[in-house]
Amino acid sequence: MTVAAAALPWVLLVATAAGELAAAQKAYADVEYARCRDKARSALLVPSTRAERVDAYRLLGLCSAAEGDTDAARDAFQWMLAIDRDARLPEGLSPRFTSSFREAKGAWVDVAPLALVVEAERVDEGGRALRVRVQDAAELVARVAWRSEGGVLSRPVKRADVVELAVPAAAAVTLVALDAQGGEVALLELPSRAAVVTGALEEPRSPAAGASEPAPVPWWVVGGVAGAVVVAGAGVAIGVAVLSAPPQVSLVPSVAFAE
């Protein structure tokens, strides 16, 4: 993708993919499986949204299964599920279609195929520096970028296990993982960080780890409170003993301290 293309609104980039998908969908409905497969492949050769990438792989898998190419169908469904683990096939399909889908689904049972994880960040003078880990068991990610709320995509950086991105601090952005043809395969929405914090790149901390611990209570305070409780308890017990029968009462004061 060129720098000029990256600066265009995202809706303009997906026009070709949308057209190819529409043609593939029509061919599938008309039982023209070879044309459906070709159009789905064409949709995968141009930039597209994540949802359109899922649709393209779904149609490619369906048409491949219809033609009896179970290996190609399984691979297409596996990539579809890597992008969206909740993706589904149409209802009422025969085992010719669903068997490849179940096989593909089993590949990701114990694996998170695609994810973007912010490991650390720094906010300084209106800018926000992010250190992002790319989890890519499906081996689909080629570049990583961010998109503004207005739909403008930044210039992508080459994929690595960990990439660094500079984004605005005062605006919400979406991190985008792109495949080699510029299609979205993973997204991570980030809220704005309007409050500017200056400092070194810090590792994220859980609320429990960042919470301040209460100061310890001095020993002499604990001792004084304990003595007061014991004396008060003994006084109450003696008063009860004087006013009630039998005349002999065994006093066993018990003091419990709260954690």
- Residue 160 has what pLDDT? 96
Q: How many domains does the chain have?
A: 2
Better-scored residue on pLDDT, 87 or 4 = 87
The per-residue pLDDT for range 155-194, each reduced to its tens digit, is: 999 999 999 999 999 899 999 999 999 999 999 999 998 6
49 and 101 co-located in one domain: yes
187 and 97 co-located in one domain: no
The answer, as to whether pTM is greater than 0.75, is no
2: pLDDT strictly greater than 70: no
Angle, CA of 98, 101 and 104, to the nearest 5°: 155
61: pLDDT strictly greater than 70: yes
- Residue 194 has what pLDDT? 67
Q: Of 52, 80, 106, which residue constitutes the final position of a domain?
A: 106
Its domain, for residue 173, covers: 114-199
**Average pLDDT of the chain, as a whole number:** 78
Q: Residue 209 is inside which H or E element, if any?
A: helix 207-210
Distance CA 48, CA 139 (A): 18
102 and 163 co-located in one domain: no
Q: Of 199, 220, 247, which residue constitutes the final position of a domain?
A: 199
Q: Of 106, 130, 157, which residue constitutes the final position of a domain?
A: 106
